[in-house]
Amino acid sequence: MPISLKNVSYSYKSFDGSPIPALNDVSLTIKDGEFIGIMGHTGCGKTTLIQLMAGLLIPTSGIISLDGKDINDKHYDKSFLRRSLSLVFQFPEYQLFESTVEKDLAFGLKYSGLTENEKNARIKWALDLMGFHFEKIRSLSPLSLSGGEKRRIAIAGALVTKPRFLIFDEPITGLDPFSYQSFLSTISDLNKEGTTIILISHNADALGEYAKRILVFNKSSLVMNGAVEDVFLDTEKLKSFHLDAGTPRAISAMLSQRGIPISQTITSYPALLGALKSQIKKGVKV
């Protein structure tokens, strides 16, 4: 069953008590197993949206439901929401607080009902996914690690509960190229296994390669919602929001302008490379 938002709005209060709109009349549905990319400039409502979905904020108006049940109903079981959905903030390393890496990950399993052996296996699995050797890292203080390592530990802490929905707010900002690609590959694999991924990012190249659907926000409103190929095809509309469709899309447009017959729905480097190889085999000079 999906996460559903119906006419959801949210306003913060200014110092004088007047409302400051952060999200305006948003309706959308996110189905199980989707990989959603969210784009938009700072302050457009992206982070407010995911905080509302995670139950951290209560909408000013509208309804947010999971599996058909209003998550803000006074009788709703919030523990079900916490088990179903994990949110990783923009700087997840600030979420670390325990004395060891193992204890930090174990905290998320405190009320899981798993046995100690099952918890240990889950912690090892999450650390392995993020490229750590369990025995080498388990007893270290998470605060003693490098910035990139802290971020990967925090993400492992979100993975450890194996939630149905994983939501990330700019997780790849500041990562080195290896960690960046490794992270995206990992969440792509999780998505293929059935986990719903919701990824906020300013990196259009990353969204073009991994996301299947794109939501674009501008001035607190949802202004585009569709398959990544369709959204990135409409470069003029994206430009009107001061956004772009990424380098692969730009290269395909440039090649087309030079008379090279290449698809304008290309959104990733692998697809671009495949299309170029196909044209070369046909004898087209690129």
53 φ, ψ to 5°?
-65, -30
User: Which residues, 6 or more positions from 120, have their beta carbon under 8 angstroms from its beta carbon?
Assistant: none
Rounded Cα–Cα distance for residues 285 and 223 (Å) = 39
pLDDT score recorded for residue 265: 93
pLDDT score recorded for residue 31: 94
pLDDT score recorded for residue 124: 93
User: Which of 33, 26, 35 shows the shortest CA–CA distance to 61?
Assistant: 26
Rounded Cα–Cα distance for residues 71 and 6 (Å) = 12
Query: Burial, 214: exposed, middle or buried (Cβ in 10 Å; 0-12, 13-18, 19+)?
Result: buried
86 φ, ψ to 5°?
-120, 135
What's the pTM value of the predicted model, to 2 decimals?
Answer: 0.88
pLDDT score recorded for residue 286: 63
CA-CA-CA-CA torsion for 246, 86, 225, 173, nearest 10 degrees? -20
Which regions of the chain are under pLDDT 50? none
Q: Where are the beta strands (DSSP E) in 68-141?
A: 69-70, 85-88
pLDDT score recorded for residue 93: 66
pLDDT score recorded for residue 1: 62
∠ CA 139-143-149, rounded to 5°: 85
Half-sphere exposure (Cβ direction) of 241: Cα atoms closer than 13 Å:
26
- What structural domains and CATH numbers belong to the chain? 3-228 (3.40.50.300), 246-286 (no CATH)
User: Which residues, 6 or more positions from 185, have their beta carbon under 8 angstroms from its beta carbon?
Assistant: none
